Structure 1
Amino acid sequence: MTGRPRHDWFQSDSDVVLTILKRNVPLDDCHVEISNENKITVKQGDEILFEGTLFSEVKNNDFTVQCTTAKIEIRLPKLIRHQRWNSLLSDGQGGAPTAPIAIPIPPSSTPSTTATTKKNWDAIEKEAVKAEEDEKLEGDAAVNKMFQKIYADASDDVRRAMMKSYSESNGTVLSTNWNEISKKKTETQPPACMEYKKF
């Protein structure tokens, strides 16, 4: 699955939850198919994000899908409740779950200490957002991102000034001074080497 998004999974007595670390996937563009042979395929449009044959059977028509800004989460109800899956896929791929279900210990056995790890999804999402913010953009993309940040962090007056000046000037003026912009219409100011014409 080279080139595909990273994934993780965990299980409870009743469910297996598959998490695919793909950002900002619209729910209506995320397609999950589970065949009668337990093969699962997750797509965004025509792009395959994940596929494989599951370790055991699930209720094919009873799964749920949730898409957030950081990930896709697919909850698969187990056909056999309380069954422990040793891996996500039948060929052993997918690794051990991050949060294994508790297995009852017979009274005669000596309990052993087992460390279970759980993913901190809040931290992972913050890390992904930071990586996106640190991404180096060039040209128009960098300018657009800068204006988006100014607008997002601005006061209501600054936002009003930006919207009024930009729309009235046909995109040639962008002002943050509401005291000045509110008093008159912002005229179109094309670059020095150009002339503005109405069509």
Structure 2
Amino acid sequence: MSATTLAHKGCEAVKNKDWEAAIPLLDQALKSSDSPIWLLARAQAHQQLRNYDAALRDAALAFISATERGSGNARKYMIDAQYRRSVVYYKLGRYADADCCAKWSMLLAEGRPAFEKDGVEKNVDENGNYTVTYEQGIADKQGQPIDSAYDRTYRRQVLGMVQEQSESVASKTGFEAEWKRAYAWRSQVLATLKTVPEDHSGRKVSVTKFPDKPKQEMAEKKPEPKPESQVGDSDDDKPVEVKGPAPGTVPDEQLKLRVDFYQTNQTVTVALFAKDVKKEDLQVNFFQNYQVQISPLPRAADPYVKPGDREAASTFILGGEIIPSASRWSVTPRKIELVLQKANAGLKWSTWGKEEIGLVAAGSDGDVQPENNATATAAAAPAAPPAAPPAKPTNAPAYPTSSRSGPKDWEKLGEGEDELDEKDVNYFFKQLYKGATPEQQRAMMKSFIESNGTALSTDWDDVKNRTVETVPPEGVEAKKWES
């Protein structure tokens, strides 16, 4: 069986989360090639089996191999290798090292030179403790690559960034999804670092941007699985007594929380039902305008997860846009309540959203995507396209109407009706709406409804902050309906 075939089978096993089957297949394939994508797949498998030394070794080799190749998808593999190093260091309780690697992953995604000496690892005080804070990590968006005109508008209007400044330091790099993944992961790392004692070894930086090439004989040594480290342990290798089902043995659907929600014109209130939540330990992070991450969460189906386990966190992908700075949360003995401030007041959400187990960054599951690995060859497969920006709610609100045909969904106006007579004025408006951008459609809906059908604007900047007045035709007087 060829190395390519073995690697394909190994990457398929990673995709199917069959970690134990993946490793021997990738071991055989890697005897003939040091393909970064194969090394990253094996690193992920070793990490999931808690063979952390082996996972670090493979991530380091993947980074070195990618830098030596220096072409094609080399940058993507370097980004993924630094991210994988960060995850493994976090599992080992080396939180400062984990943040450094996550930052290097972000810088590479921003298009910065691969061999740049950026001094990330030098952010330490006189005691050698890492000084980067959670608040600094959340604010670290200056170099974020722009993946759409929507992102540019959001950052200018919501984050208060000047357009010229924003565009001078950020551009489209093709690695926007990888940047968001590393940024979201950093928040988890720094949030944990904030909780550990000042004398914890995890506050020390011992990592370098360019790892030393591991010795070859390490490949022959099969690492022994190690249990997860607990936050606050001074000994990273201290065994953890596990009672009941191990992390990863309970299906995600059984782990998800029971959710209820209601909404007003300004807010959406989401109730997440969980027992015995410790408010002092809870981390609730509102990301950009469409995502909330919460950890650690007690699970009714599996109460044995530890703070570092994937099951201890959840990412809530929201059904609409919010203003993070105006949103808030609270805790009672039986639930967590999120009060989400709508970015578009008056726009009805068709659903509150969905829960994903673990930390999910902008459409990614937080791991190197196995589907990209599955078709790898010794020369390395092409990278998958970057994730798309968060989608707008797919179901538009149905506004009250006295029409016998019921409420109208303005998003679907004109669907399936192209056969109408082109001389019909309704045909013109349907085609106009159908060919408009999302912002133009939003402006058309708002202006038409607020003006009682007497005005139609496609300029969202003009109508978004004002009520569109009713302007009746000449010779006609507008009167309020009186019952």
What range describes the TM-score normalised by the shorter chain of this pair?
Answer: 0.3 to 0.5
TM-score, scaled to structure 1: 0.43
The TM-score, its normalising length taken from structure 2, stands at 0.19
Whose strand fraction is larger, Structure 1's or Structure 2's?
1
